[in-house]
Structure formats: C-alpha cells, structure tokens
Amino acid sequence: MSLRAKSFIKRTKKGNVIKVIKEHYLRDDIWCSSALCESCNHTDALLSATPRATESFRTPHYIVPDTNVFMNQIDIMEHPAIKDVIVLQTVREELRHLSMPIYNRVNAIVADKNKRFYAFSNEHHKETYIERMKDESPNDRNDRAIRVSVKWYANHLANGKKKAPITVVMLSDDRDNREKAKSAAIKCSSVRDYVADLTDSPELVDMVVSAKDASEAQAKADGKIEYEEHLSQVQIANGVKNGKFSQGTLNISGHNYLEATVMATVEGKQQNVYIVGRKNMNRSIQGDTVAIQVLPKSEWKKTASVAIEEDEDEATEMKAESENTDGMDVDNALPEMPTAKVVGIIRKKWRPYCGFISKKSIHGTEGSTSAQNVIFRAMDRRIPSIKIRTTQAHTLAGQRIVVAIDSWPTTSVLPLGHFVKTLGSSGDKETETEVLLLEHDVPFQEFSKRILEDLPAEGEDWVVLDKHVHNERRRDFRHLNVCSIDPPGCTDIDDALHVRALPNGNFEVGVHIADVTYFVKPGMPMDEEAAGRGTTVYLVDKRIDMLPSLLGTNLCSLRSNVERLAFSCIWEMNENAEIVNVDFTKSVIKSKFSFTYEEAQNRIDDDRMQDDVTKGIRTLNSFAKKLKQRRLEKGALTLASPEVRFNLENDSQDPVDVELKELKDTNALVEEFMLLANISVAERIYSKFPDSALLRRHPTPPDSNFEELRRALSEFNISLETSTSKELSDSLDRAVIPSDPYFNKMVRIMTTRCMLQAQYFSSGTEAEQDFRHYGLACPIYTHFTSPIRRYSDVMVHRLLEACIDADLTYGQELTDKMRMKELCDNLNFRNRMAQQAARSSVELYTNLFFRNKVVEEDGHVIRILRNGFVVLVQK
Amino acid sequence: MPYLSQAERDYITEGVQSDLRADGRGRLDYRALVLETGIISQANGSARVRLGDGTDVLVGVKVEIDQVEPDADNVGKVVCNVECSPSASQQFEGHGADDLNNELTQALQRVLGGPQCGINFEKLCIIKGQQCWIVYIDAMILDYSGNVLDTIFMATKAALFNTRIPKTQIQDLGDGEFEFEVLDDVEDAERLDGIENIPIGVTLNKIGTGHIIDASPLEELCTEAKLTIAVNKDSQICGIQKGAEGGIEPGLMSEMIQTAKRIGQSLIQQLDQKLQDEEQQVDEKRLNGENIEKLGFFAMV
Amino acid sequence: MSRLELLTPEGLRVDGRRPNELRKIIAKTSVLAQADGSAYIEQGNTKVLAAVYGPQEVRHRMQILHDRAIINVEFNVAPFSTSERKKRSKNDKYDNGIKLQTSQFPRSQIDIYLQVLQHDGGTLQACINAATMALIDAGIPMIDYVCASTAGCIDKQPVLDLNYLEESSDSPELTVAILPRTGKVNLMSMESRLHVDMLESVASLATEGCEQIHTILDAVVRDTTQHLKDSLMQ
C-alpha cells in the first residue's frame, strides 16, 4: 500500500477555519468484479460475463456513468433495463456532496444484487488514483479520474487471460468530457444516444432529462421572463437573519392551487402567511422550504376561499397566468391576512408525481410516435401541471403515469419534467391503489428474500419450547384466563388481557403484548425494513404489512389456544381501579378466547354467562369505566372522526355498501387498558433513558386553530373555551342543540380537525413540560401495545426490556438521542403518510361506490367557499 | 544549571580572540543548517530548522478568523508564542522553561508583531470593521545546542514562506452588509503579502574583546553581553535587543551592527534560495501530477 | 451536513484501509542530541516525539524508592498539533505502564518526556510506542517491548487503529498495550460505551495490532543497531 495525503479547508460550526488532512491509502487488492476476469482475486463477481451489446457498441460492455448522469438521469439508472454498471467512488463521493437523496438512491441500486451495479473504489486503487495537477479544477480532476478508470477497465478486460471480447462504455452528457474521452480512445456516449439503442425499452427515451438547452437562453434573451429570479442562498440566509425574510414550508390549499400558506414568524408572531398567485409563489412547489418577503399592507389579501381546478390545456394555462388572481373578490368582513411572495427556495421537495396526461394537450393522430410536448397533471391537486416531452403520448393517454420534475426556469410558466414509468390504466382499482401508495410514499414492495431469511427456520411450525419458559426469565402465564378482544376479522392480534382476584382483596390485571422483539433483533435486515416502513398501512381492501405475515398474523399474533411469547404489563389494582403496583415481564401465555368486540359485549350483557372468563371481562369493563371517568375528569377529550367501513363484494372487492363504524363498550374497554399500559411503560422507560426514551406527545393547539370553528359556533351562541383540554372538553359537552342530535358529534368532528398531530419524539430533544399529551390529558405517553403494526412500539419494547433486564446488552440504537430523533422523524412522517393513504383509499372507494349512482341522504354544510361548499353526510 | 570552570572560560575566550573556536569554526562562521517546510500538514504553514548537531526548532503557523480590534478595524494580527520542550533540556521540565519562553516570545513578537516585519497587515483584514485573520506563530524548541533565537527566526521565516491563507470571497448582501465565504480548496489558498520582507535575527555574543555569531551553549555561558539584531533582505534593521549583564562599547556596538547586517543578508539569501529550490521541486512534481512525498520529520538527521 | 460514510459498501474505511489494517508507521531512534535516549514515531498523521533522561539521581529526595527507580512522565501537546489551535496544555495523565527492570536502578529516576507534534487519533498508543523506543535508545534494560494499539467498532465491524475522523464519529475506542513475547496485557483503556459482546473481538483485534507494531518497531531497532553488531563481529 502506498500513502497519499488529501487536504481541504473547512469552517467549523463556531466559524473558525481549519485545515483538514486525511490520509489516503492506495491499494492493489481492489478487484474489477467482472465474471470473465481471471486475473483478479474476487469471489462472487457482480458484473455479468455477458453484458448487453447495442447497435452503436457491438462489443458486450459494462457502463460507467459520470456524476451528472446519476444526478440528472437517476430514473433511467433505476430502470430494470440498465444493468452491469460500474459506479466509481469518485462519482459516489461527488454525489454525496451534491445530493443526499440521489446518493441514497444510488446506494440502494448498488445494494440490489440483481441490478449488478458494482461500486469500484477507484480512488483507492493504485492504478486508477490520480493526483490533481497544478491549475486543474477539482471538477476537471474528477472527470479525468473517471476517464482514467474507464481506460483502466478497458485495458484490464482486454488483457484478461481469456481475451474476453468485453469492454466498457462511459456515459456522459458533458460534451467536453466526451471529446477528451474520444481523444484518449475511450468509448463513450451521451445518455440519449445510448438509450435510443435500447429498443426493447422504448420508454427510456422519454425518461431522458434534457440538459439545459439553448431555448432557455434564447427565451431569456427575448425577454420572455415569467418569474423573478430567486435570490442566492447567502442573500436568503442573511435576509432571514436580519428579519427581512421569513422562512417556512409552503402549503398549497387543497381547494385552490394558486393559493398557499406558509407558517412563518411575521411581526414577531408565528402565523399563517398567504401566498397568492403564480407570480408570488415564484416556482415553489408544495412542501418546499421557502424564503418569503411580506408584501406591503395595501397588497394584503382577505382569505379568498375559492375552489379552483386547474384548467385543462396550455392556452388557458397562460390566460390564468395573466389574469393572476385579481378576479377573486373577497368577503370584506374578513380580516386582512399577511400576504407575502416567495423570494427563494431554501430546500426543494420535488419527488416523482403520479398523474395523467391531459388529453387536450396531445396532438397528432393516434399511433403517432413522434416526440411532442404534453401537459401532465398530478393526482395531488396542489402540484402544478408539468410539461413533458414524450414519443408515446397516445399510448399514455388514459394511463396513470409517474413523472419527475427536471427544472423550472424563469422563462417557463410550467415546470419541465420527464416521464418515469407507467402504472396502469386510470380508474382501475389496482392502479389507483398503487397510485395512492406511491403518492404517500408508502413502501409496498414484497419483502425481499434477505428479509424473509430472518424469520425463524421452523416457519409455521415454530412453537414455544421449554427453553423459552425456563432460560429467558419469562413468567409462565399459560394457566391464566387470558383473552383478546378485537374487531372482526382481525388476524394480527397485538394484545390480550387478563384479570384475577388476589388474596388481599386487590386485583391483578395483565396486559399482554405480542413479543415481537423476540423475533426482530436490532440490525437484522427485517428490523431495518420495519424501521423504514414504520407502520402497517390499512387500506380499504388491503393491508401493507410492516412485518412479514408469518410473524404478524401467526407467530406473534396472540391467537386463542396457542402458546405465544408476550411482553406483559401487570398491575395490582384495588377495587377502585387505582394502581397499587406495576410490574413488567416477558412471559408465555395461552389465550383462551379471541373475541370480537360484539362477542365480548354479548358476554357482558348475557346474565346467564357466569364462567371465569366472562366474569373477568365484566371486572375489566367496570375498571375501564372507572379509568375512563377519571381520565375525563382530568380533561381528556372525546373527539370524533367519521370512520367509514365498506362492505366489499367478495370476488371483485367492489364496494357494495358504506357505513360509519360503530363503537361498542368493549372498544373502550380495550382502549382504556392500552392507554394505561402505554402510560406506565412511558414512565418506566423515561426514568431509565432520560435522553433517548421514545415517547409520544400531543402539543396544545394554538388558539388560532379554533378561530374558524369558534366563528361558526357563535352563530349558535355557543362559546368554545380552548385554553386547557379540560375546558375544551367541558365546552364540547355543552355544545348541544336539542333539535339536532347529530350536532354535538359534528362539532367534535370539526374540533378534531383543529388539533395538531401527535408526534413521536426522543425525550432528550424536548423540555419535560412539552411531553404532555393534550388529547389524553396525561403528562407522559408512549406507544407500547401494537408492535406488530407500529415500529415505535418495537423500539419501546427494546427500551423496556433494557429497563427490566440488567444483563441485557444493547447498542447505541437505544442511547443515542440524535439517532432516536431521526427515527422519530421518520416514524412521524410514515404515520402521517399512512393516515393520508388510508383516507385517500376511503375516498377512492367512496368515489367508486358513488360512481354512476344517486343516493339521497341528509347532510350538514360545514364550510362555505366562494364558489363551493363542504358537506358532512351523516349516516 | 551547567557550570563552567575558569579554565574552560579562559579557553573559550582565548579561542574567540584568536579566531579559532572550540569546534574549529572562526568567529563569524555559522554551523550547518538543515531546513524542511510543510511537515505539520494540519498547520497552515510549518518549518523545522536544525542547526549543527543540536538546536532543533519546529514552527507551526495557524490562521484563525477573529473580530477586528475596534481601534484598528482594517488590519489583522500576528501572535507569536515560543515553548521549550523538556526534550531539549531537563531544565525545561514543568515550569522550568517559563521565563525563557516569555523572553523568547517577547523577542519574536516585538519584531513580527508590527509593520517592521514587512507583512501587509491590511491584507489580513477580511471585511473592514468586521473580521480579520490572526496569524498564530508557535515555535517549539525540541533540542538545544545554543543560538536558539536566531534559529527561531529562521524557522519562522521559512514557516511563513510555507504558509497559505485560505482564500475568502466577499459577498455583497446589499444594505452595506457583507458576508464572506471561505473556499474549501487548499489550492486556492494564498501566500501572505510581503513575505519576502520578513527579517531574521542575528545574535552577536561579546566574549572578551571580540564577538562571535551562532554561539554554542558553552560560549553562551561565557558571553558578557549579547546583541540580537533583526535584519531584512534590504539590510534594514527591524529591531535591536541587547541581552546579558555586560556593556558594549559604542565603537564595538556599531561594528557589531555592521557585522549583523552583512551576515543577516547572506543568511537571508541562502535561506531564500533553499526555500525556492524546495518549492520549485514540489511545483515540478505537481505539474506532472506526481506525488509529493515529504521526507518527514528527522528524515535528514 | 451529511453523515460521513465510515465504511464503504466495498468494506473500505475513509482513508482506504481495510478494517484490520494499521496506518503507516515510521519510527526512528536517536533523533535528539541532548536526551539520553530519544525516538520519533508517526502512526499515520499522529506524530510523537519522546525523550528519555536517566537513570540519574532523584531530584526530590522525598520520592526516592530504595529498591527501584522512579519513573516520571511529562506529556506535552504542541499548540499546532490539533486541527484547531490549542492553548498550551501540559499534563501527565498518561501512566503508560512501561515495563522496565526498575529494580536494577534503586534510588534513581528516569524521566520520559512526550511531545505530541500532530494529533490524528490514537495519541496514547503512539506515546507508549514512542516511549518504548526512546527507552531502548537510552539503553535501559527492559523485560520486553511495550507495544500499544487501538481498536474500535464501526457499524458492528471491529476496526484497527482509528484515525481522528473515526474516533470523533462516536465510535468506541479501546487502547491495549501488551508485552509481545508473553502476550501479557499491560494496559487496557477505554472511555466510551462498547457492547460487551463486541469487547472480545475488538480487544483481540487490538492485540493483533500490537503484535504487528512489535514487528515493525523491532525491525527499526535491529536496523539502527546493526552497525554496533557489525563492529562487535569484527
């Protein structure tokens, strides 16, 4: 090995400047990983012995893309047709500095052995490392490093013992780089030319992102400027610092794509600031972190609640642009809201969008395959239309497709993008479900082989053995009358309960939770996958599992009459349901019954049933009522959200009926004990891990959230007190109109919409007074009871196990508060997405249900827009 | 404390008189000198000078960003610090070197801290009224065999020659506000302005009626009076420091100053030559994209 | 700020080493004129100078031990040794467990001065190795070399000889010093959390590193003393 030094200058957080020196070792044991090569010592060669050959490059070859190819054409690189690619270290390192999302996507491709992308450490290879020359820019040096590696590969493969007819082709969209390569006799091609030869995948051509073309410069020269230039990052940072600008996340109205709000600090107050019109939004897209400048008060708008659908073709698009938003006259009674314009985008939140091609924008005759510009409209109404160029316009009509944005120059009204893939025809249930999963970023692919390998080898035959009972400090609860109560058809049973009288007159109440962490150990691929998924997603017709179903619906599921491993929370309670003592233990249980809510309710109600199990449920039920009573007294909220249930036809899975979910006493029974277990566990893990306990908080909603509701209620002379949850709860109880029995429920539904989202967080990142759960009115809370379907609970199980088992060894995953914070951020995101996906699924089925159907029902108007209204239908 | 007998003292004094010193040198002969720059890679500049078989000085230069002084808002600063490591002498253990450290630091700071050193302090200011560079010069005495101060001066001049200040780019934020960015590329870093004017020190020791340069430890013990004169390449005197107990006759004084100017000039010429040769070699290698392998510490001992 | 990739998918570390490889070591003895023994060692970019004085008379009579020599260690960090300049700091927190035949020198004192010139991780191990070399250079009889090495753990993979970047990215670091001939462990020090399951593999990797270092240091000593041997043979 020989040694080189690399140095660069870095500014520390404190603002100081340091020179960083890194050693850089060059090796002679980095192999080429070609299956044909005999001179290298690699085992498990990744690159195939028979890679693709094309019309222009008739020798079978591997592909070496340069950095910009990955940066701009990552969708093409992810396409299954692209295989046998060498990813140079130089390229990977450049990508890491340029874009973390792209870097992560490239890493994901490299990890996928089927794609055969080989990460070659050219920077540490003795023969491919190059020293930067004097007066050579770092970029030029890296381009040269890429060419040197390509050349090395070409020579290396040519000199192999077999004299294999195999070579390498460099892909680069940089003409200068290609010229230099050609003069060094390196085979190279632009991406567009290369994929044009891949005739078996014609869609690839549509996916090519064109480099910033001359037309843009031309348009600029012609003075055809649609938008103001964005300010530089430094100007923005400074402006934010000195208060000239504010920063926040752009949130476009679901009703009107030309109206957005940004939660930002304006005039020293955290408030919603309006951005109205295309010009003022200045090319920012839903979710972007933007810098805004508040407009003079004379230009402030009133809340202009107008429902606007985007017009269909480009011509009107332009018109809408010129009209701007002047046409929106507004209710003068409303107060003026601070209004601002976007001066720069701090972080773009671009992602691939699902949607369809606007039919009106397609030109030419059916079957024509000449390239044309068409308008793509995203399913997410908050996303602007995107202009794409495609050769398959006619084939794509009526299809759901995925499109990515490439750029949005100041000269173009609409952002420019490219086609990524086709999902299927619109209106098709499968396709639409895939669309909504993609739109909510739900990972829904099958579990990979690597993940399934983590399952117990016994498969379905896995049983509880003596060793589980004796060697693992498990308590044996198999003799207890444990039972579970769940919705009908539930197969992933997380929790079960038991109660028994103790000799001292108190009761022992146990909550038993599936011991998922027995099977899912930190660091195994299954664990990483589950952490990434975060939660099981429930759609109307299907469930996207967080864990493989062998665990979820079988080995972990606490089914009746099967011995199962559990994590138990055992309380000693007196007859007033007050906790005397709490204990946590791993255990073995054998559930006696799996009830549905209805069955359990029937048992309670049926006086003839006097067996131990039924008596137990009655005891639990009475305890639950006491617990609930106490909770409500402390100010816990009873809110409502309309939960819809579809009855699906068995074969076609088409909805045949729709109803709102009904709640029974027994729902509350289970819920009460789960809440109690969660609180007990939260206290315990926080005491042991003050910095890194995973907890759940529900922040107090700001008063402003209630304003609209308060105004609406004032019409009925009902006041709403919101300063504490107790006051809110009391005023909700008073919000009754005798003539309308549904009114109170409706107010509760609307109150739910004023709430903030509950969030997971790491205890070290928030002050203790902010741990409160507003809705449940308790000072500390977490999730412990559903480890099969929520990753947060898996983590909490691990934390709790570390609390009760002094000998347990654990790593930083439990103690590093920043890691815990990152995990929480992901779980919060996944959770939100899962909820939205579920809601969209309901919407989809509601639409399917009402398609070509007229149904008459009573409804309440809950919000009036300028040109529309929102109705809540009760059934 | 090393102790010198009268016989030794006489031997040395007579040696100076007859222009033949104990190690065979004449009065105005310098010992052989080994020089190497850029060996502390994490520093912005560094140099090591080994004089004869004994005195070894390592100088590291680091630059930091700081707020400008309110009364001098358009200049940067140079801050010197000298430390004697106990590896050079057991006397330096613990706080044993504190007095000497102070004395040497002061001597260096007096010459390099002000405009007399020739560095363009205004160029060290990044944004007027806001930030400037502070150049920290840290000298370490690793081994000791006389004439430390002169060695420190030479090592410092070499280290400053080797120093590159990261390049900054100033951005106008409008409203009279400025912000700057530091370029992360080492290649963009620039040399200090006025580096060629930096003086070196020549110490003359008066022994008996004669004076010598580059004194050995024993000669230092016999020294009645010493005079350190800082001289730059144009023979300008940039500082004078008189040391030790004895006095110097006015006639001898001006003779010593003349000697210092002459010796200083030739030393600067030799030093500059060495530095330029070294740099040229590095540049040639760089031009061909070759690796620049530094010899590393003590490679040349 | 993007999190650093400490181990690439190909299994290389940030500087291109594999997990079980040491950094480049350069060692030299007799580098100073004044000291009785001296040594200079570079382990990667960590550079340490050691000087040994003695055995000699004990300076503070109070400290005299009647059956063996006392050992005094002073540790000093150069202000430019770290990436951010440090104000002068002196301490002697490292008792580096040097194994000398101290009983041969009753009522005397041996001083070891350590000077860190550049810090890039693993200062303790470099100091121990430098001190060993300086003591050998001073001709003080020793039972054996004391060779030190560090090992840590990145993504559950034990790695040898951490550099500063790896050290500062929250990886645990264990320093081990052994007497290579007997394999006895002389020093084991860790100031971070490490999963107990990993301890054994990390410790054995560090021990392996010590043995590699022994081979390197021994070669240096034999090389520099060759001329003595030659002159004896004549």
* Chain length of chain C: 234
Q: CB of C11 within 8 Å of any CB in chain A?
A: no
Residue C184 forms part of a structural domain: yes
C9: tokens are 């998918």
Q: How confident is the model at residue B72 (pLDDT cuts 50, 70, 90)?
A: confident
For residue A714, what pLDDT is reported?
A: 84
pLDDT of A302 reads: 61
The answer to whether A235 contacts B42, with C-beta atoms less than 8 Å apart, is no
Q: Distance between CA B57 and CA B143 in Å, rounded?
A: 7
- SS3 string of A691-718? CCCEEEEECCCCHHHHHHHHHHHHCCCC
Residue spans of chain C under pLDDT 50:
1-2, 92-93
- Please name the residue of chain C whose CA is at the shortest distance from the CA of residue A117: C9
CA dist C135 and A69 (Å) reads 58
Q: In percent, how much of chain A has pLDDT > 70?
A: 89
Handedness of CA C48, B148, B81, B267 (dihedral sign): negative
Q: Higher confidence at residue B42 or residue A810? A: B42
The runs of H, that is alpha helices, within B163-249 are 217-222
H or E stretch at B146? none
Q: What is the pLDDT of residue A162?
A: 61
Q: Specify whether the CB–CB gap between C225 and C133 falls below 8 A.
A: no
Q: A342: which residues sit within 8 A by CB, 6+ positions away?
A: A250, A275, A280, A281, A282, A283, A284, A290, A291, A292
Residue C133 lies inside a defined structural domain of this protein: yes
- Interface contact A19, partner C, CB < 8 A: yes
The tens digit of pLDDT for each residue in A486-522 reads 888 888 899 999 999 999 999 999 999 999 999 998 8
Bridge partner list, B36? B48
Question: Is the confidence at residue A305, as pLDDT, over 70?
Answer: no
- Of residues A82 and A745, more confidence is placed in A82
User: In chain C, how many domains are there?
Assistant: 1
Tokens of A805: 């088992």
Range of the domain at C37: 25-226
Subunits next to A (3 or more Cβ pairs <8 Å) are: B, C
Read off the pLDDT band of A67 (50, 70, 90).
Answer: very high
Q: What is the percent of chain A with per-residue pLDDT over 90, rounded to a whole number?
A: 26
Residue C180: which CATH number?
Answer: 3.30.230.70
Do C78 and B136 count as a contact with CB atoms less than 8 A apart? no
Q: How many Cβ atoms sit within 10 Å of the Cβ of residue A12?
A: 10
**C110 domain-assigned:** yes
The model's pLDDT over A194-209, given as tens digits with 9 standing for 90+, comes to 988 888 888 888 888 7
| B139 CA: distance to closest CA in chain C (Å) | 9
Per-residue pLDDT, B301: 43
Buried b (16+ CB within 10 A) or exposed e, A313-334: ebeebeebeeeebeebeeeeee
Instruction: Work out the angle at residue A70's Cα, subtended by the Cα atoms of residues A67 and A71, and round it to the nearest 5 degrees.
Output: 85
Instruction: Show the DSSP H helices in A440-509 as ranges.
Output: 449-452, 466-470
Average pLDDT for residues A110-129, to the nearest whole number? 90
Of residues A715 and A554, the one with the higher pLDDT is A554
Shortest distance, CA C202 to any CA of chain A (angstroms): 15
Closest approach of chain A CAs to the CA of C83, in angstroms?
6
Query: Across the strands, what pairs with C74?
Result: C113
List, as one string, the DSSP characters of A170-216: EE-S-HHHHHHHHHTT--EE-HHHHHHT-TT-THHHHHPPPPS-HHH
At residue A796, the pLDDT reads: 95
* Sign of the Cα pseudo-torsion (A453, A456, A458, A460, in order): negative
pLDDT tens profile A616-641: 999 999 999 999 889 888 888 877 66
| Residue in B with minimal Cα distance to A4 | B291
Q: Which of C2, C12, C44 sits opposite A124 (nearest CB)?
A: C12
The pLDDT assigned to A313 comes to 39
* C216 domain-assigned: yes
* Residue pLDDT, tens place only, A308-332: 544 443 434 444 434 444 444 444 4
Domains of chain A as residue ranges with CATH: 2-207 (3.40.50.1010), 217-363+371-426 (2.40.50.690), 449-698+758-849 (no CATH)
Task: Report how far residue A590's alpha carbon sits from residue A498's, in angstroms, rounded to the nearest whole number.
Answer: 11
Contacts of A21 in chain B (CB under 8 A): 41-42
What is the C-alpha separation between A839 and A825, in angstroms, rounded? 21
Q: Is A767 on the interface with B (CB under 8 A)?
A: no
Say which range, A380-394, A643-657, A759-773, has the weakest mean pLDDT. A643-657
User: Looking at chain B, which residue has its C-alpha nearest residue C113?
Assistant: B87
Instruction: Kindly tell me if the per-residue pLDDT of A578 is higher than 70.
Output: yes
CA of C191, closest CA in chain A: separation in Å?
A: 15
Q: How many CB pairs under 8 A join B and C?
A: 100
Chain A interface test: which of B46, B162, B172, B182 (most A C-beta within 10 Å): B182
SS3 A417: strand
For residue B48, the distance in angstroms to the closest alpha carbon of chain C comes to: 12
* pLDDT value at residue A328: 44
Residues A572/A581, Cβ–Cβ less than 8 Å: yes
Q: Do C117 and B62 touch (CB under 8 A)?
A: no
Show residues of chain C in contact with B42, CB under 8 Å. 45, 80-83, 118, 120
- Matching CATH number, B1-30+199-292, of 3.10.310.30, 3.30.230.70, 3.40.50.300, 3.40.50.11540: 3.30.230.70
Which alpha helices (DSSP H) does A496-596 contain, by range?
A: 525-533, 549-550
Question: Can you give the pLDDT at residue A641?
Answer: 64
Of residues B65, B174, B177, nearest to A16 (C-beta): B65
The pLDDT assigned to A314 comes to 40
- Worst-scoring range by mean pLDDT, A83-87, A123-127, A335-339, A714-718? A335-339
Show residues of chain B in contact with C30, CB under 8 Å.
301
Report strand pairing: B177-182 vs B200-207.
unpaired
Tens digit of pLDDT for each residue in A22-61?
A: 888 888 888 888 888 888 888 888 888 888 888 889 889 9
For the record, the structure tokens of B112 come out as 């390099």
| pLDDT the model gives residue A1 | 63
Q: Is A843 on the interface with B (CB under 8 A)?
A: no
Nearest by CB to residue B87, choosing from C32, C81, C88, is C32
Interchain CB contact of C84 with A (< 8 Å): yes
Q: Give the pLDDT confidence of A209-243 residue by residue, as tens digits.
A: 765 554 556 666 666 777 888 888 888 888 888 88
Q: Do A89 and C196 touch (CB under 8 A)?
A: no
What residues contact A179, with CB distance under 8 A and at least 6 apart? none
Contact flag A8-B184 (C-beta cutoff 8 Å): yes
Model confidence, pTM? 0.72
Kindly state the DSSP code that residue A553 receives in the 8-state scheme: I
pLDDT confidence bin for A86, thresholds 50/70/90: very high
User: Is C125 part of any domain?
Assistant: yes
d(CA A50, CA C219): 49
| pLDDT band of A588, cuts 50, 70, 90 | very high
Residue of B44, B183, B291 with shortest CB distance to A131: B291
Partner residue facing C111 (CB), from B90, B296, B301: B90
Question: Domain locations in chain B?
Answer: 1-30+199-292, 32-172
Nearest to C28 by CA among C40, C15, C20, C12: C40
Interface probe, candidates B46, B102, B142, chain C, greatest C C-beta count within 10 A: B142
Does pLDDT of A175 surpass 70? yes
The string of DSSP codes covering chain C is -PPP-SB-TTS-BTTS--TT-PPPEEEEE---SSSSEEEEEEETTEEEEEEEEEEEE-SSGGG--SSS-EEEEEEEE-TTSSSS----EEE--------B-GGGSTTEEEEEEEEEEE-SS-HHHHHHHHHHHHHHHTT--BSS--EEEEEEEETTEEEES--HHHHHTT--EEEEEEETTTTEEEEEEE-S---HHHHHHHHHHHHHHHHHHHHHHHHHHHHHTHHHHHHHH-
Q: What is the pLDDT of residue A845?
A: 83
Q: Is residue C233 part of a domain?
A: no
The mean of the pLDDT values for chain A is: 84
The C-alpha of C40 sits at a distance from chain B's nearest C-alpha, in angstroms, of: 8
d(CA B301, CA B136): 27
**What's the average model confidence in pLDDT over A253-282?**
82
Chains that contact C by 3+ CB pairs under 8 Å? A, B
CATH 3.30.230.70 fits B32-172, yes or no: yes
Q: Which of B40, B61, B145 sits opposite C33 (nearest CB)?
A: B145
**CB-based contact B166 A17, cutoff 8 Å:** yes
Tell me if C146 is assigned to some domain.
yes
Chain C residues with beta carbon closer than 8 angstroms to that of A121: 8, 10, 12, 16
β-strand partners of A256: A308
Task: Answer whether A810's CB lies under 8 Å from A802's CB.
Answer: yes
**% of chain B exceeding 90 in pLDDT:** 55
